[in-house]
Structure 1
Amino acid sequence: MDRLYDNESRLFCERRYYKNNKIRGIILYKNDKVFKSFKGEKEFFIDFFNNVFNDGDIVFNDARLLDRANFVQTKDTKNVIVYHSTERDLNGELKASYATSTKNESNVSKYITSTEMQKASLINNYEIPEEKVNVISSYIDPVSQISYRDNSDIIYVGRLDENKQVIDIIEAFDSIKDEIPENCVLRIYGEGPNLESLKSQIKNLKLGKRVKFMGFANNLDEVYKTAKVSVLTSKFEGFALSIMESINYGCPVVAYDIEYGPNEIITQLETGVLIEKHNVKMLADTIKKIINDEITFENVQTDEKFTKESIQNRFIYLINELGGN
Structure 2
Amino acid sequence: MIYTITSTLPLQHGGRTKALLNRIKLIDQALNINTTILTTNYNANYNDIYKSYLEDEKITTNTYFENIYDWLADYKLLIEPTTDNPNQLTYHETPYELSGFTSEISKDKSIVRYYDNETYVLYRRYYDNTKVVKFEDYMSPISKKKVQRWQYNKNGILHKKVYYAPKSSQKILEEFFDVYGAIYCMKFFEDNADNDLSFIQTYKDKQPHKTFTSEKQLFRYYFDSKFKDGDIIFNDARLLDAPLLKQTKRTKNILVFHSSHLGKHNIKSSYKYALKNADKVTQYIVLTHQQKADILTNNVITENKISVIPHFIKPVNIDTQLPQQNRFIFIGRLVPEKQIEHIIHAYKKFVAKGYSTTLSIFGSGDANYSSYIKTLIDDLELQQKITINEYTNNPIQELQQSKASLLTSQYEGFGLTIMESIEVGCPVISYDIRYGPSEIITHGENGYLVEANNITELTEYMTKIIDSPLKSVETTSTVKYDTAINNYKQLFSLLNDA
TM-score with structure 2 setting the length: 0.60
Q: Indicate which of 97, 100, 110 corresponds to 2:270.
A: 97
Displacement of 1:169 after TM fit? Answer: 1.5
Equivalent pairs, count: 321
Q: Does 1:135 align with 2:308?
A: yes
Q: Distance in 1 between matches of 2:181 and 2:485?
A: 40
Q: Distance in 1 between matches of 2:177 and 2:226?
A: 21
Q: Does 1:270 align with 2:449?
A: no
Q: Counterparts of 1:37-186 in structure 2 under 5 Å? A: 37-89=211-263, 91-147=264-320, 149-182=323-356, 184-186=357-359
Q: Distance in 2 between matches of 1:207 and 1:43?
A: 50
- Give the partner amino acid of 1:37: T
Q: Does 1:279 align with 2:454?
A: yes
Q: Indicate which of 4, 7, 18 corresponds to 2:190.
A: 18
Deviation larger for 159-168 or 20-29:
20-29
Deviation larger for 47-56 or 239-248:
47-56
| Structure 2: stretches of 5+ with no match in the other structure | 1-172
Q: Is the 8 A contact 1:27 1:35 kept in 2?
A: yes
For the residue of structure 2 that corresponds to 1:216, the secondary structure is: coil
For the residue of structure 2 that corresponds to 1:188, the secondary structure is: strand
- Give the partner amino acid of 2:276: K
Q: Is the 8 A contact 2:331 2:395 kept in 1?
A: no
Displacement of 1:44 after TM fit? Answer: 1.8
Q: Distance in 1 between matches of 2:221 and 2:375?
A: 51
Q: Indicate which of 223, 229, 234 corresponds to 2:404.
A: 229
Q: Distance in 2 between matches of 1:111 and 1:251?
A: 32
If asked which structure has higher relative contact order (CA below 8 Å, sep 6+), I would say 1
Displacement of 1:231 after TM fit? Answer: 0.7
Q: Indicate which of 197, 200, 215 corresponds to 2:372.
A: 197
For the residue of structure 1 that corresponds to 2:317, the secondary structure is: coil
Q: Is the 8 A contact 2:396 2:421 kept in 1?
A: no
- Alignment match, 1:257: 432
Q: Indicate which of 241, 257, 273 corresponds to 2:416.
A: 241
Displacement of 1:173 after TM fit? Answer: 1.6
For the residue of structure 2 that corresponds to 1:160, the secondary structure is: coil
- Give the partner amino acid of 1:272: G
Q: Is the 8 A contact 1:152 1:291 kept in 2?
A: no
Q: Is the 8 A contact 2:396 2:420 kept in 1?
A: no
For the residue of structure 1 that corresponds to 2:387, the secondary structure is: strand
Cα 1:309–1:29, aligned 2, differ >3 Å: closer, same or farther?
farther
For the residue of structure 1 that corresponds to 2:330, the secondary structure is: strand
Which has more helix, going by share of residues? 1
Q: Deviations over 1:30-83 (max 9, x none)?
A: 222223222222332222222222222222222222222222222222221111
Which has more strand, going by share of residues? 2
- Alignment match, 2:176: 4
- Give the partner amino acid of 1:205: L
Identity %: 36
Cα 1:324–1:48, aligned 2, differ >3 Å: closer, same or farther?
farther
Larger-Rg structure: 2
Q: Is the 8 A contact 1:172 1:281 kept in 2?
A: yes
Cα 1:45–1:181, aligned 2, differ >3 Å: closer, same or farther?
closer
What RMSD in Å do the two structures reach over aligned CA positions? 2.3
